[in-house]
């Protein structure tokens, strides 16, 4: 992802993989126990470093999926073909594996429970990961403001956190809700034909500009740029839009 954080005096911390949870055929959520971890802000990420027996190291940045807690964090990693780190984490790593993390990193694409304005989250593919940290935190603290998630996946089998999002539905109090749309293949019975997010989706599933929501958009660069253009066309304040992009370099 496009990262703007300054590493400063952050150091590498030892971490142990405590558990894995399969999300899709190519993605898993990893629970890490990190010695001395002091928590994070929803939307932040960490650098992960692996060291091979011969001393070779490789590191990549991954968004944090869990709500802030001390001592542990969850990363949801999708395997990238030909990658050095993601295939191991998403397909092979087992509990007990030792690795290192550095962070948390990022101070702009974050949400704080102290904020009171409505929030609109829009994610494409694995770009939903940092948004889930925000949504989970929002629910954990029973935040009174509105937070909506619009999540675009290629097809149903590619949806991350599918059970959690399906169970969420549209709560009676309207405080938060999650809407899934599909770009290539929709589930049986879905009235919406598969297509990329367009102006109709924004009108139906995004908080109105007059509500002045802070919008967080995350996903592949073309997705993010297209969504931002749609938000601006709909009349959203550009000063309230925050975006994080990723491309082929994150492996």
**pLDDT of the chain along its 251 residues, tens only?**
334 344 446 899 999 999 999 999 999 999 999 988 989 999 999 999 999 888 889 999 999 999 998 778 999 999 998 888 999 999 999 999 999 999 999 999 999 999 999 999 999 999 999 999 999 999 999 999 999 999 999 999 999 999 898 866 555 445 688 999 999 999 998 999 999 999 999 999 999 999 999 999 999 999 999 999 999 999 999 999 999 998 644 45
Three-state DSSP class for 226? helix
Give yes or no for a contact between 190 and 182, defined as CB atoms under 8 angstroms apart: yes
What number of CA atoms fall less than 13 Å from residue 129's CA on the CB side? 28
pLDDT (0 to 100) of residue 174? 55
pLDDT (0 to 100) of residue 54? 84
Strand blocks (E) in the chain: 13-24, 27-34, 45-51, 57-63, 72-78, 98-105, 119-124, 147-153, 176-182, 214-220, 241-246
Three-state DSSP class for 89? helix
Q: For the chain, which domains are there?
A: 13-105 (2.40.30.10), 119-246 (3.40.50.80)
pLDDT (0 to 100) of residue 130? 98
pLDDT (0 to 100) of residue 249? 42
Three-state DSSP class for 166? helix
What are the beta bridge partners of residue 101? 13, 48
The separation between the first and the last C-alpha atoms of the chain, rounded to the nearest angstrom, is 10
pLDDT (0 to 100) of residue 25? 96
| Dihedrals phi, psi of 178, to nearest 5 degrees | -125, 130
Q: For the whole model, what pTM was predicted?
A: 0.91
pLDDT (0 to 100) of residue 170? 53
pLDDT (0 to 100) of residue 234? 98
Backbone region of residue 55 per phi and psi (left: phi > 0; alpha: psi in -120 to 50; beta: other values): left
- Tell me if the bond preceding 190 is cis, omega within 30° of 0: no
CA angle, 45 as apex, 178 and 78 as ends, to 5°?
65
pLDDT (0 to 100) of residue 35? 86
Distance, in Å, from the CA atom of 9 to the CA atom of 40, rounded to the nearest integer, reads 16
Give CA torsion, residues 186, 189, 192, 196, to 10 deg.
Answer: 0
Three-state DSSP class for 119? strand
pLDDT (0 to 100) of residue 169? 57
CA angle, 32 as apex, 27 and 35 as ends, to 5°?
160
């Amino acid at each position: 992802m496009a990262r703007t954080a300054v590493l400063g005096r952050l150091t590498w911390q030892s971490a142990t993989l405590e558990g894995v949870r399969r999300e899709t055929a190519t993605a898993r959520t990893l629970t890490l126990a990190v010695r001395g971890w002091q928590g994070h802000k929803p939307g932040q990420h960490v650098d992960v470093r692996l060291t091979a027996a011969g001393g070779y190291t490789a590191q990549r940045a991954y968004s944090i999926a869990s709500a802030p807690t001390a001592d542990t964090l969850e990363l949801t990693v999708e395997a990238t073909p030909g990658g050095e780190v993601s295939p191991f984490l998403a397909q092979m790593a087992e509990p007990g594996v030792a690795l290192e993390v550095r962070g948390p990193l990022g101070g702009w694409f974050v949400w704080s429970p102290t904020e009171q304005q409505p929030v609109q989250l829009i994610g494409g593919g694995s770009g939903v990961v940092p948004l889930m940290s925000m949504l989970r935190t929002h629910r954990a603290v029973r935040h009174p403001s509105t937070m909506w998630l619009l999540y675009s996946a290629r097809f149903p089998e590619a949806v991350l956190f599918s059970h959690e999002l399906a169970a969420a539905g549209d709560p009676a109090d309207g405080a938060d809700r999650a809407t899934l749309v599909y770009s290539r293949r929709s589930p049986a019975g879905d009235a919406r034909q598969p297509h990329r997010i367009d102006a109709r989706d924004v009108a139906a599933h995004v908080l109105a500009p007059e509500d002045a929501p802070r919008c967080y958009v995350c996903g592949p660069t073309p997705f993010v740029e297209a969504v931002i253009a749609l938000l601006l066309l709909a009349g959203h304040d550009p000063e309230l839009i925050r975006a994080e992009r990723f491309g082929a370099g994150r492996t």
